[in-house]
Amino acid sequence: MLYVLLSSMRLGYSLRNVPIQFVRADFLHTQALAARFLRSLIGVPYGITAYTVVVYYRPAVIEEIIREAAFLVADTRQTKRFLLSMGASPNKVHLIRNGVSLEEFPLHQRAGDAGSPIILGVGSLIPKKGFDVLLCACAILRARGTQFRCVVIGDGPERKKLDNLRKDLGLDGCVEMLGYLSLAELRDWYYRATMLVMPSVVSPTGETDGLPTVVIEALASGLPVVATETAAIPEIIQHGVNGFLVETNAPEPLAERVQVLLERPDLRAKFGCEGRRRIEQDFNLDRKVEILRDLIVGHMPPKSLPDIGEPTAEAAR
Residues 197 and 290 in one domain: no
Residue 177 maps to a domain: yes
Residues 86 and 132 in one domain: no
Minimal CA–CA distance to 119: which of 270, 258, 266? Answer: 258
Residues 38 and 133 in one domain: no
pLDDT for 17-27, tens place per residue?
888 899 999 99
Residue 218 maps to a domain: yes
Residues 69 and 82 in one domain: yes
Task: Give 135-155 as a DSSP string.
Answer: HHHHHHHHHTT---EEEEE--
Q: What is the pTM of this model?
A: 0.86
Percent of the chain with pLDDT over 90: 76
Residue 108 maps to a domain: no
pLDDT over 90 (residue 225): yes
Residue 162 maps to a domain: yes
Over residues 115-134, the mean pLDDT reads 95
pLDDT over 50 (residue 317): no
Q: Report which residue type is found at 51.
A: Y
pLDDT for 259-300, tens place per residue?
999 999 999 999 999 999 999 999 999 989 999 999 999 888
Over residues 146-163, the mean pLDDT reads 96
Residues 138 and 255 in one domain: yes
pLDDT over 60 (residue 10): yes
Residues 294 and 267 in one domain: no
- Structural domain total, the chain: 2
Report how far residue 262's alpha carbon sits from residue 85's, in angstroms, rounded to the nearest whole number.
42
How many residues make up the chain in this entry? 317
Residue 105 maps to a domain: no
pLDDT for 48-62, tens place per residue?
999 888 788 899 999
Minimal CA–CA distance to 212: which of 223, 228, 192? Answer: 228
Over residues 211-234, the mean pLDDT reads 95
Residue 106 maps to a domain: no
Minimal CA–CA distance to 112: which of 262, 4, 239, 237? Answer: 262
Residue 42: give its domain's CATH number.
3.40.50.2000
- Give me the pLDDT at residue 39, please: 92
Over residues 123-127, the mean pLDDT reads 96
Minimal CA–CA distance to 126: which of 41, 36, 54? Answer: 54
- Cα-based distances in Å from 38 to 17, 56, 92, 238: 14, 20, 20, 41
Residues 263 and 296 in one domain: no
Report how far residue 23's alpha carbon sits from residue 44's, in angstroms, rounded to the nearest whole number.
7
